[in-house]
């Protein structure tokens, strides 16, 4: 028969349970995923086998459905901390499969959360864990016993009433052969209990009898030292948690005096945060959503205010942005700390404000990261580059080199007679190009001096230059390929007589345009059997030739003819693209003709995972006082083919 256990662990105890992550995307909701969070699979605990019952009424999912926390690594990761990485849309019990399932939604506006979403989509996160508490004591099944529902056999401890309060994504999948969920604090408490009682869990499980009380041994100096160190660590970690989430001093002292573990304090804070959220009712014909709390409004207003100070004008500034635009860093830090529950923020010195604000989970650091990302994004859209107007664009999922081959016969489809076979298209014998992605970036630290000096201008200017440099770097790399005229796969230079794409050197004129058009139209495929019939869609000019080329493309009459009745056959035939990268210091000024990239391979710009915007990441600097920002971009510039390119060397 099953009986209620009357010894620890007791009702109310906090625990974690990990499992292999089963995840699928929710159709029509790009940021939502359906996951399995628990099952009746037994877990090895220090006191024996634990089973979480999934009978109807056994699981209380009210906390998860009322705004439970979605964390990463239960808040232990210093880069994420206890700040939620998303929200729990809903949780339910699948009685048929005996599983608890949930739909979670990642926060796409948070770069750290967006990174986790990407790893979920790629299957790189394979673990899930829940934090839960027992609502009633375990049912203890001895060896040979069977539970009332007939599904569980002893020896085991069955949780018949339990309540999950958080879901955590885990970087490492659970090992079902090893006990999970036992925290360091729980282990230390059990070790101390075993030493004081003179028994071990294993002995207790073998006898299943009460252990008589014994006189505790007199602790030695080493044991006292370890106990003092453990208490100091507990106090330090609880102080850090309370400071991070604005817990008042009275409550913090209560946590410490009651001897609560770090996990118990963490769970209490999460419950408080969940209770402060106002759930939004959902019904037929009504959209569901989440309310924006007061601190989120402060973050949005402060970020827009700092952008205004830095010279950037948000399209729709958040309410209160104008007020924050007149505040210093110190004043904004005071506002964030005060709204987080820190009562004495107004009395702190600039040094104290800096130290209290520069934590991974602080609102102030979140505001700075938001500002940094928006400065880089805004700057990227203002860079006067031209490469994107005529090159092709691609995306790669990794950094592995990719080889390209040409297809012969111009991709021509051949007639297939009745009962005949399809003929194999001819590929080039060797790769004509190899794509390689490289990473380019720099970093800057938001230091204590910048905070105290209130110097947002230096940070914004540096981030702007980083963003401009990312785009200009691509622009320079593209035009360098044209100017350097590299040797290609066939041993000939890009622009050469062998490639039939090098014109007679002369200043821009109707004659040079006609020569380029004719030679591009008569380019042949790799087998030299078929004409490609290409035509120039763009003309790339240096600033020196801009005026003359513009005349040739816009005049009604031929500029080179003395007769105004002679029509200009190239009027509006091509798009003029002018870039100073093509200017040479002295001598002839070359100009280039380019086919539509959809018709012929020319130059390709490739980005890792299609991300064209420089990535901004932040972290707490270890060897400096401040927050370190790094800006980088992963990209590659590849010369794919020569048939869609034509060069006229110009005239000196």
For the stretch 115-166, pLDDT in tens is 888 888 877 777 888 888 888 888 888 888 888 888 888 888 898 998 888 8
Q: How confident is the model at residue 15 (pLDDT cuts 50, 70, 90)?
A: low
**Residue 371 buriedness (CB in 10 A; 0-12 / 13-18 / 19+):** buried
Helix axes 329-339, 350-357, angle to 10 degrees: 60
Residues 6+ apart with CB under 8 A from 208: 142
User: In 10 A of CB 148, how many CB atoms?
Assistant: 12
Among 210, 201, 203, 238, smallest CA distance to 9 is for: 201
Structure tokens at 17: 């349970």
d(CA 201, CA 121): 42
Three-state secondary structure call for residue 59: strand
283 Ramachandran zone, left/alpha/beta (phi>0; psi -120 to 50): beta
Residue recorded with tokens 């540096």: 462
d(CA 410, CA 192): 79
pLDDT tens digit sequence for 261-306: 888 888 788 777 766 654 444 333 433 333 446 677 888 888 888 8
- If you average pLDDT over residues 92-102, what whole number do you get? 89
Residue 473: alpha-carbon gap to chain centroid: 23
This model's pTM is above 0.75:
no
Q: Range with the lowest mean pLDDT among 40-54, 488-502, 513-527?
A: 40-54
Residue 446's φ and ψ, nearest 5 degrees, are: -80, 100
CB 169 within 8 A of CB 72: yes
Residue recorded with tokens 């160190």: 229
pLDDT at 176: 44
∠ CA(169), CA(171), CA(174), 5° rounding? 85
- If you average pLDDT over residues 307-320, what whole number do you get? 84
CB 602 within 8 A of CB 593: no
CB 474 within 8 A of CB 493: no
Residue recorded with tokens 């002295």: 586
d(CA 601, CA 223): 74
Q: How confident is the model at residue 396 (pLDDT cuts 50, 70, 90)?
A: very high
d(CA 458, CA 615): 19
The Cβ-side half-sphere exposure at 135, using a 13 Å CA radius, reads 15
Structure tokens at 410: 């111009």
Among 264, 275, 9, 1, smallest CA distance to 136 is for: 9
Is residue 553 within a helix (H) or strand (E), and if so which, with residue range? helix 546-554
d(CA 639, CA 474): 13
End-to-end CA distance of the chain: 102
d(CA 61, CA 42): 20
Is residue 464 within a helix (H) or strand (E), and if so which, with residue range? helix 456-484
Domain ranges across the chain: 3-181, 183-203+223-278, 294-357, 510-603+638-648
CB 84 within 8 A of CB 69: yes
d(CA 350, CA 354): 6
**Residue 395 buriedness (CB in 10 A; 0-12 / 13-18 / 19+):** exposed
CB 619 within 8 A of CB 472: no
∠ CA(103), CA(107), CA(109), 5° rounding? 155
Alpha helices of 291-387 — where are they, by DSSP H? 294-309, 321-325, 329-339, 350-357, 363-380
pLDDT at 223: 59
Q: How far is CA 529 from CA 268, 312, 476, 483, 522, in A?
A: 77, 57, 36, 30, 11
Model confidence at 177: pLDDT above 90: no
Model confidence at 344: pLDDT above 60: yes
Residue recorded with tokens 């209130």: 454
């Amino acid at each position: 028969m099953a009986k209620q256990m009357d010894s620890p662990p007791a009702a109310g105890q906090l625990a974690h349970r990990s499992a292999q992550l089963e995840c699928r995307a929710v159709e029509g909701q790009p940021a939502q995923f359906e996951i399995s969070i628990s099952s009746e699979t037994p877990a090895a605990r220090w006191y024996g086998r634990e089973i979480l019952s999934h009978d109807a009424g056994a699981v209380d999912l009210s906390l998860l459905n009322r705004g439970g926390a979605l964390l990463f690594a239960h808040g232990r990761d210093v880069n994420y901390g206890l700040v939620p990485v998303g929200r729990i849309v809903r949780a339910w019990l699948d009685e048929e499969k005996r599983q608890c399932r949930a739909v979670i939604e990642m926060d796409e506006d948070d770069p750290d959360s967006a990174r986790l979403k990407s790893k979920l989509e790629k299957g790189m996160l394979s673990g899930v864990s829940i934090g839960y508490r027992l609502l009633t004591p375990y049912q203890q099944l001895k060896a040979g016993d069977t539970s009332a529902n007939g599904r569980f056999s002893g020896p085991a401890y069955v949780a018949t009433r339990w309540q999950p309060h958080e879901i955590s994504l885990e970087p490492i999948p659970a090992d079902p052969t090893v006990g999970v969920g036992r925290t360091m604090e729980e282990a230390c408490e059990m070790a101390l209990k075993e030493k004081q009682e003179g028994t071990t869990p294993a002995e207790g499980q073998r006898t299943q009898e009460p252990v008589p009380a014994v006189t505790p041994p007199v602790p030695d100096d080493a044991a006292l030292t370890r106990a003092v160190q453990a208490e100091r660590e507990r106090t330090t970690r609880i102080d850090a948690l309370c400071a991070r989430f604005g817990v008042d001093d009275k409550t913090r002292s209560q946590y410490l005096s009651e001897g609560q573990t770090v996990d118990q304090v963490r769970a209490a804070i999460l419950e408080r945060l969940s209770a402060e959220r106002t759930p939004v009712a959902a019904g037929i014909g009504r959209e569901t959503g989440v309310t924006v709390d007061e601190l989120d409004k402060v973050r949005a207003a402060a970020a827009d205010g700092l952008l205004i100070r830095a010279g950037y004008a948000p399209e729709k500034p958040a309410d209160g942005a104008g007020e924050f635009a007149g505040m210093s860093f110190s004043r904004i830090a005071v506002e964030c700390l005060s709204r987080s529950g820190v009562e004495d923020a107004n009395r702190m010195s600039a040094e104290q404000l800096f130290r209290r604000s520069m934590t991974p989970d602080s609102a102030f650091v979140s505001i700075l990261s938001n500002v940094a990302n928006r400065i880089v994004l805004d700057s990227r859209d203002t860079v006067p580059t031209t490469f994107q107007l005529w090159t092709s664009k691609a995306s790669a999922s990794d950094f592995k080199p990719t080889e390209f081959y040409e297809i012969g016969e111009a991709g021509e489809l051949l007639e297939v007679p009745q009962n005949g076979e399809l003929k194999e298209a001819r590929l080039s014998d060797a790769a004509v190009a190899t794509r390689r992605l490289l990473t380019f970036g720099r970093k800057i630290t938001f230091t204590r001096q910048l905070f105290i000096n209130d110097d947002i201008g230096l940070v914004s200017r540096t981030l702007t230059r980083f963003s401009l440099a990312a785009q200009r770097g691509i622009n320079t790399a593209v035009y360098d390929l044209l100017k350097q005229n590299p040797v290609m796969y066939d041993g000939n230079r890009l622009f050469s007589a062998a490639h039939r794409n090098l014109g007679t050197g002369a200043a821009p004129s109707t004659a040079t345009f006609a020569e380029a058009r004719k030679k591009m139209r008569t380019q042949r495929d790799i087998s030299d059997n078929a004409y490609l019939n290409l035509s120039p869609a763009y003309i790339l000019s240096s600033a020196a030739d801009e005026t003359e080329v513009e005349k040739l493309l816009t005049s009604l009459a031929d500029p080179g003819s003395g007769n105004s009745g002679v029509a200009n056959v190239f009027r509006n035939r091509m798009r003029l693209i002018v870039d100073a990268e093509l200017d040479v210091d002295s001598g002839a000024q070359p100009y280039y003709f380019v086919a539509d990239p959809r018709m012929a391979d020319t130059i390709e710009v490739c980005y890792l995972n299609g991300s064209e915007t420089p990535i901004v990441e932040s972290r707490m600097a270890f060897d400096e006082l401040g927050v370190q920002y790094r800006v980088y971009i992963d990209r590659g510039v590849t010369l794919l083919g020569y048939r869609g390119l034509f060069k006229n060397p110009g005239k000196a």
